[in-house]
Amino acid sequence: MSVPVSQMWTVASYVMKNKLAGRKRYPLVLMLEPLFRCNLACAGCGKIQYPAHILKKNMTLEEAFRAVDECGAPMVTIPGGEPLMHPQIKELVEGLVARRKYIYLCTNALLLREKIDQFKPSKYLTFSVHMDGEREHHDFSVCREGGYDIALQGVREAIERGFRVTTNTTLFDGGCRQRAPILRRNDGRRRGGHDALPRLFL
């Protein structure tokens, strides 16, 4: 699914405002990382290798909102770690929606069905689900058997409840053929989309 018209208009207006003000550089997206902790141990990820005292830390709501307000960008991505593990993720998303920020909550979706009652469908909120290909390839990439099926259940649940959902895929060398089936599956679903990160690991 394409980007919502309201989001395109907000971003275009923001860009025009900065150009008219003579600014050559300004942020479009804030990457807000509220924690490093995760419920997966993917082979290609180094964040889980941080010391325990770092992994236990959570960004406070005050710190998060201060960063958002200072940045001023119209879009906020929330990666991790796994953001759904943050104890105040509900309040964080609500605060961003109240600020009319377009949010991409990046998740592996293992907790999505469990946590989805904490959120309300909104044009400002998108769940961006990490899917690395078809079942076998995905489970190998995230080092967890059954991860693909759990994530897919979360995606379906979110779509049925009216949330906007996209998938986020890292294309590994030799895995490009895996992309087409995912695109076909998502194109047939309401509020679905696909974002591919063309990072090739040779």
Q: Phi-psi bin for 191: left (phi > 0), alpha (psi -120 to 50), beta? A: left
Look at the domain 26-197 and name its fold.
TIM Barrel (3.20.20)
Distance separating the N- and C-terminal Cα atoms of the chain:
30
Q: Which pLDDT value is given to residue 42?
A: 86
Question: Do residues 18 and 26 make contact, with C-beta atoms less than 8 angstroms apart?
Answer: yes
Nearest-10 crossing angle of helices 147-160, 135-142: 110
Contacts of 122 (CB under 8 A, 6+ apart): 97
Q: How many other CB atoms sit within 10 Å of the CB of residue 23?
A: 10
Strands ordered across the beta sheet of 125-130:
29-31, 75-78, 102-107, 125-130, 164-170, 194-197
Q: What is the DSSP string of 43-104?
A: TT--GGGS-HHHHT----HHHHHHHHHHH--SEEEE-SS-GGGSTTHHHHHHHHHHTT-EEE
Q: Which pLDDT value is given to residue 193?
A: 53
Per-residue pLDDT of the chain (202 residues; tens, 9 = 90+): 578 899 999 999 999 999 999 999 999 999 999 999 999 988 778 777 888 888 889 999 999 999 999 999 999 999 989 999 999 999 999 999 999 999 999 999 999 999 999 999 999 999 999 998 889 989 998 899 999 999 999 999 999 999 999 998 876 665 555 544 454 455 444 445 545 443 333 2
